[in-house]
Structure 1
Amino acid sequence: MTPGARIQAAVEILDRWLDGEAAEKALTGWARRSRFAGSKDRAAIRDHVFDAIRCKRSYAALGGAMTGRGLMIGLVRAQEIEVSELFSGQGHAPEPLSDAEMAAGEAPQGAAALDLPDWLEPIWRDSLDERAEAAALAQRSRAPVMLRANLRKTDLDQARTALSGEGIETRPVEISDTALLVETGARKVALSQAFQTGLVELQDGASQAVVDALPLTDGMRVLDYCAGGGGKTLAMAGRADARFYAHDVNEGRLRDLPDRAARAGVEVTLLPAGDVQGDFDLVLCDAPCSGSGSWRRAPDGKWRLSAGQLQHLTELQRDILDQAAGLVAANGVLAYATCSLLADENDNQIAAFLARHPGWTETQLQHWLPGPQGDGFFLSCLIRADSDATIDRNFSG
């Protein structure tokens, strides 16, 4: 396919997305209808589509229309490429721009310049203060591909050597001592022996840093209460010889965890949904959230989130914290984490919990902003203790 033909394919896919179809479904449907497209074509088209979704409002402003064609015109203008080179009408490329399209388009302003919904911009600014613009702009670019070295089976240097032998070049980064940033060969990771034998796992750098910050020690009883796919469960198991339990209200999310745990060389006990009993030394609640810290990975979520959905999420988070608090043993730790940047899901949620539960205190608070080594995350650790407990506060990124 020519570069112009790839642009036209992205136009068609984006029109379906703008009509309400999920981006992944629209991409898959196009690929099935277009068997002529090679792997490089599909990868390039996918990149065009997700770049446009991340930057929907700014590209629409530059392109002069909230359509697939308008978004692609905006993308080309943002990348300072001559529009006529790709919109030529030749070789399945989009038709040349009309006089009206040539005259249309302007620099994005306000929330559009940050690629945020109008309703969210004031919440975003209130949550992040002077960091608001940088955090929003970081969500407009692609996320890094990060790996976690599984300390149960290897160390960082051995993992790098194994990956390099399979054409995957990585480098360590500061955010976590288990984190590797993939520099070349990212598409080879899933089929590599290093991955399939459990030496490494795909995991965001900030997600690894959250686990690093947890007070893990050998012999603990550790519950991942909102385990999802179990990524943090496995990361914790790589750091301590403890007894690990995983729970999720949607048991289907845990379906692959036994196989992943076996590959990693660790043991995890799955607990039935809604039926968790006992006292745990550490309960991690990686709560359902807006995902606003990781929108560059899943940009659909930024545009589908509504004020009503955000309120529903904060109510769900409140309930999860209250339920999980009853599972923490004496002198145990309740850890609350989100991949969100919004205060209502983070600091405000913890303040409300402490107001409801005066016997608890916060001992650790940390924020990570989206950046070149990881996504945006939040972590608060809570214990039943007096108010003289030391509080560790940090803002990274």
Structure 2
Amino acid sequence: MTPAARVAAAIEILDRVLGGTAAEAALIGWARASRFAGSGDRAAVRDLVFEALRRRDSLALLGGGRDGRALMLGLLRTDEANPDEFFTGTGHAPAALTEKERASGGSAQAADLLPDLPNWLWPDWQASIGQRALPLAHAMRARAPVWLRVNPRRASVSAARKALAQAGIETVEADALPTALRVTAGERKIANSEPYREGWVELQDLSPQLACASLPLAQGARVLDYCAGGGGKALALLSREDIEVTAHDAAPKRMADLPERARRAGVEVTLSPPAKLGGDYDLVVADVPCSGSGTWRRTPDAKWRLTRAGLDQLLAVQSQILDDASGLVRDGGLLAYMTCSLLDAENGEQISAFTGRQPQFVEIERQSWSPEDGSDGFFLALLRRGAGGR
């Protein structure tokens, strides 16, 4: 595909997304209908679509409209490319620009004042983040880096980096956590690389790696990963210490790949159906469903699909999970509440409300990360159940 044809494809996909289709579904639908597109074409089109969604409002201002065509015009203007070289109307390129389109669009200065967040959410964002609200919103417009977690049960950091390099995957170590590797080249080769297939490394963002590394673990501890999903946190904890981990999720199908991933990693995880959780765990980890506002660089269409009603529903779910998970913690045990959100309503306010309802729990630690210091936005509150507090 030519660069112009890729722009045309991105316009088609963006129009579907702006019409209500989830970005991943729109991309998959286009790929299935476009067998002529190679892997490089699909990756390039995906990058164009996600870049446009990260910066939807500012690109709409620059492009003079809110459809896919205007967003791509705004993106080309942002990149200081000549739109007439892409909008030619020949071959598979988009139709030539009209005079109205050439005259459309606001200034770059005005566009840079926009946070590229939903208008209704902006006051909450400002209240949660304060003076860094706009810079952090702008940081969310950049593409997120890819991170790997080295599994010390399978390989040392140096051995993993060497094997990755041999597979064409370049990495650098994180200053805050040596077992965390940021991928600087070859990210699309990871899934088929030997270090990944053999369980030497796992894909996991830096901030949840830091959160898991900060949790206190004692040999033989009984740990419950209460909202396990794919099980990344369970595997991260098992890589650190010889512990017993049970993984639970309200939708067990999300854990379907976990047994195989655990086998590759050289550890064992017990999968628990909802009715057989038991109790008295030393540590319960609850990475709850949330807005995902800390990960919107990776799933940019999610921020435009979130509504106030949707956020309120998530807050209610988080509150219920906290109450349910707290009953599974032994006296003197720990409850780790996690979100990948930057909004205080999902973070500190939830913990304050929970300790008000459940005074037997005392918060002993709180940490948060943002794209400025931890790649994805992430929140961790660690609470202890007081002895005799049931």
How high is the TM-score relative to the length of structure 2?
Answer: 0.96
Structure 1 unaligned spans of 5+:
387-397
Mapped to 2, the partners of 1:331 and 1:352 lie a distance apart of: 21
Corresponding residue of 2:2: 2
* 1:62-77 alignment, distance < 5 Å: 62-77=62-77
Deviations 1:158-191 (Å, cap 9, x if unpaired)? Answer: 1101111111111101242310011111111000
Task: Kindly report which structure 2 residues correspond to 1:119-268, keeping only aligned pairs within 5 A, or say none.
Answer: 119-268=120-269
User: 2:48 matched to 1:48?
Assistant: yes
**1:33-88 deviation digits (Å, cap 9, x = unpaired):** 22222221111111001111111111111111110101100111111111112112
Where does structure 1 differ by over 6 angstroms across 4 or more consecutive aligned residues? none
Instruction: Give the match for residue 95 of structure 1.
Output: 95
Matched, 1:319 2:320: yes
- Give the deviation of 1:112 after TM superposition: 7.5
How far apart are 1:241 and its partner, in Å? 0.6
1:304-363 deviation line (CA, Å, top 9, x unaligned): 110011111111111111111111112111000000000000000000011111222111
Shift of 1:275: 3.7
Residue segments in structure 2 that go unaligned for 5+ positions in a row: none
Mark the CA change 1:274 to 1:347 in structure 2 (over 3 Å): closer, same or farther.
farther
Please tell me whether the aligned partners of residues 207 and 374 of structure 1 are also in contact (alpha carbons under 8 angstroms): no
Contact 1:283–1:333 under 8 Å retained in 2 = yes
Question: What CA deviation, in whole Å up to 9, does each residue of 1:360-394 have, x standing for no partner?
Answer: 211100010113752000000001249xxxxxxxx
Query: Within 2, Cα distance between the matches of 1:119 and 1:107?
Result: 24
Deviation at 1:20, TM superposition (A): 1.3
Cα deviation for residue 31 of structure 1 reads 1.6
Task: Give the equivalent residue in structure 1 for 2:84.
Answer: 84
TM-fit CA distance, 1:274? 4.5
Percent identity (aligned) = 53
C-alpha contact (below 8 Å) 2:330/2:385 kept by paired residues = no
- Measured in 2, the distance between the counterparts of 1:299 and 1:275 equals 37
Q: Which residue identity is paired with 2:50?
A: F
1:272-315 Cα shifts (integer Å, max 9, x gaps): 12542221001000000000000111112101110011111111
One-letter code aligned to 1:86 = F
Tell me which amino acid in the other structure corresponds to 2:103.
A
- Displacement of 1:216 in angstroms is 1.5
**Residue matched to 1:359:** 360
User: 1:182-220: per-residue Cα shift (whole Å, max 9, x none)?
Assistant: 111111100011000000000001110010111112110
Partner of residue 118, structure 2:
117
Partners in 1 of 2:50 and 2:211 — Cα distance? Answer: 27
Distance in 2 separating the partners of 1:361 and 1:110: 45
C-alpha distance in 2 between matches for 1:274 and 1:74 = 52
| Contact residue 10 and residue 68 of structure 1 kept, 8 A | yes
8 Å contact kept, 1:229–1:256: yes
Q: CA deviation at 1:110?
A: 8.6
Q: Give the match's secondary structure for 1:367.
A: strand
- Structure-2 separation of matches of 1:166 and 1:117: 41
Aligned-residue Cα RMSD (Å) equals 1.5
State how 1:336-355 maps to structure 2 within 5 Å: 336-355=337-356
The residue that corresponds to 1:300 in the other structure is 301
Q: Distance in 2 between matches of 1:85 and 1:374?
A: 35
2:58 and 2:111 in contact (8 A); partners too: no
**How many Å apart are 1:114 and its aligned residue?**
0.8
For the structure 1 residues 314 and 192, does the alpha-carbon distance in structure 2 shift closer, same or farther, using more than 3 Å as the test? same
Q: Is the 8 A contact 1:221 1:280 kept in 2?
A: yes
3-state SS, counterpart of residue 337 of structure 2: strand
Which residue does 1:382 correspond to in 2? Answer: 383
Residue pair 1:175, 1:205 contacting (<8 A) in 2 also: no
Amino acid in the other structure paired with 1:136:
A
Taking structure 1 as the reference length, the TM-score comes to 0.94
